[in-house]
Amino acid sequence: MNGIDTRVLAGRYRLLNPLAEGGTGAVWLAADEMLRRDVAVKEVRLPPDLDPVRRQEACASALREANLAARLKHPSIVTVHDVIIDQDRPWVVMELLSGASLEQTVRQRQPLPTHQAARVGVGILSALVAAHAAGVIHRDVKPGNVFLTRTGRAVLTDFGVAVVEGEATAGRTGHLIGSPNYIAPERLRGERGGPASDLWSLGATLYFAVEGLPPHPAETPVAAIGRVLTDPARPPERAGALGPLLTLMLAPRAEDRPSFDDVARSLQEIALGRPATALPPGPSGSVPSGPVLERIPVPSEHERPLPEESTGGRRQAGARERSGGHAPVPVPRGRRTAVWAAAEVAAVVAVIAVTAGVAHLLSDGTAPAAPARLSEKPGVFAVPVDPCKLISATEVRQLLPALKAAGQPTNQGGCQWTTPGVGLQVYPAGLDKQWGKSPRQAHELFVNQRHSVLPSGQTAWSWPGIKAGVRSARSTGPLEVGPAGDEAFGYDLYENRKTGRLEKSHVVLRVDNLVLEVAYTVVDGSKDGPKIQAGAHTAATWVAQALNKQKASG
């Protein structure tokens, strides 16, 4: 392998060093020299004596995997950037994830505590909901395909054996694909399988996370197939509150498994340390009509430093919450002999379920009505807007009376107005893009941002531009705000140590195919919380009015 350490694929991806190797390929750290970023490149190794037809099939399979993963936009699904055929071998270019797979984490350390396994389950379940809503069945959910990142995500990888609803499979190879310990019984019997099959595989994966072995342990793959087809799952011993839920998810018949909605609710309760609600056995196994996922606090053991603030003055609010124990669980649980490193796997920081209605839960558990059917046609904002032109000098001085300079563009496409102790910002939601191609895509970005907002017990932020040094704060979950644009929500940051005073108020809003975030910050104590919230909403209203005026003018 060392002989191709400096190999460049497609004239832009320079291979640096292998990150992982297996019998059928390797994953490389690579530098994208065009966009100047690090990426992961999956190398698919083909036997040298493979006949041309099989080689062509392997390349087509890699292209198909890349196409499937690329069409699924979700924070818990690995992002595929590109696919390359080089010297008759496929190479898949993906986002670079830092961490380890669930399988590696459990085998090298120990099984996960129950509440942390449930957090992983929340993220992967929501990824499956997004995939199923797009008509994609993963078919290979297993510990090796769940990646636990150091930045707080559980990510579902490897869509190489996924199938699309209605897609013909007769031309594919007929051998069993997947790991027998994590394949649902109906698929082992030769059936195509559906969403309930992925749910069974997720149950088996979470079982491994807390027990350290699969639910049907066996010495050989053939023996595992026999046990999955004929035997009930091994009674869990260390799963605690997850035990009853896992038993239902591992029901031999698909119709006896719980619904995705019920599983999501139970995982949330367990992740938050609450006693899980007892679920009745099936019939069920249906795909949810809308997400039922609430914000999951992030544990703080082995806290990681927060990212430095950008030149534009915004520090990503990293959330870490200290948890002082677990609520009683309905079944006995085994002892934990050590604390699993939460720096490797924190909570899922972004949970989104993309379904036909694309509804979402509020922080108080109530579900607002989904917006009317949104257009898939290109929106009116085809190019980035200039946020500095969305608020007039007269308007901004109502919130920053001492302001003398004009708004300053930031290096993330935003704008900021600053005076000592007070600041106003308008920037793209998510920091990476501010619009979707269509109102529907922008709405999905908006929902993604809403689910990215987590209540936290400890958050750090700073803003040198307003003379605010690094400070400790706590963040709320998403909050309802008054009308601003087509849809909007807010969240706040409160001082964590002394007065508990509100310091920052944010509003995220969508207008047509554009999603922006507005933040109003006061650190000198001159305004109370309601006035800061009102300031953020007022600024968001100005932004929405300016955007609607641009929209009306065409």
- Same-domain status, 116 and 85: no
Q: Is residue 86 domain-shared with residue 119, that is, in the same domain? A: no
CATH code for position 72: 3.30.200.20
When computed from its CA atoms, the radius of gyration of the chain, rounded to whole angstroms, is 25
The predicted pLDDT at position 517 comes to: 93
Work out how many domains the chain is built from and give that number: 3
Q: Which two tokens stand for residue 448?
A: 């993604």
Examine residue 524 and state whether it is found in any structural domain, yes or no.
yes
3-class DSSP state for residue 424?
A: strand
Which domain range does residue 57 map to? Answer: 2-95
Same domain, yes or no, for 79 and 198?
Answer: no
Question: What's residue 7's pLDDT?
Answer: 84
Residues 246 and 105 placed together within one structural domain of the fold? yes
Same-domain check for residues 23 and 108: no
- Range list of H helices, 189-329: 195-211, 221-230, 242-249, 260-271
* Bond preceding residue 180 cis, omega within 30 of 0: no
Collapsing DSSP to helix, strand or coil, 395 comes out as helix
Whether 329 is in a domain gets the answer no
pLDDT value for 86: 83
- Among residues 122, 400, 143, 461, which one has the least CA distance to residue 266? 122
Domain match, 45 and 192 both? no
The reply to whether 91 and 139 lie within a common domain is no
Q: Are both 250 and 134 inside the same structural domain?
A: yes
Is 267 inside any structural domain? Answer: yes
Q: Please check whether residue 377 lies inside any domain of the structure.
A: no
CA 81 to mean position of chain CA atoms = 17
Domain boundary among 62, 95, 128: 95
132 and 212 part of one domain:
yes
Q: Residue 502 sits in a domain of what CATH number?
A: 3.40.1000
End position of a domain, from candidates 271, 306, 337: 271
Q: Answer yes or no: do 90 and 187 share one domain.
A: no
Q: What is the CATH number of the domain that holds 142?
A: 1.10.510.10
Domain end position, chosen among 95, 123, 139: 95
Q: What average pLDDT values come out for the chain (554 residues) when binned by 10 residues?
A: 64 87 78 91 80 76 71 84 81 87 90 93 92 86 91 80 52 55 93 92 97 94 92 94 95 94 92 77 44 34 30 31 30 29 27 26 34 76 85 94 91 89 88 65 80 67 85 82 91 76 92 92 79 94 94 82
Note whether residue 345 is domain-resident.
no
Does 13 share its domain with 103? no
In a domain, 299, yes or no: no
Q: How many residues does the chain have?
A: 554
Please return the burial class of 114, using the count of CB atoms within 10 Å of its CB with bins 0-12, 13-18 and 19+. buried
Distance CA 112, CA 32 (A): 35
DSSP-derived secondary structure for 486-534: SEEEEEEEEESSSS--EEEEEEEEEETTEEEEEEEEE-SS-S-HHHHHH
Q: How far apart are alpha carbons 32 and 40 in whole angstroms?
A: 10
Nearest to 402 by CA among 431, 422, 426: 422
Q: What's the start-to-end Cα distance of the chain, in Å?
A: 56
Report if residue 293 sits inside a domain.
no
What's residue 91's pLDDT? 87
Is 58 a member of any domain?
yes
Residues 86 and 104 in one domain: no
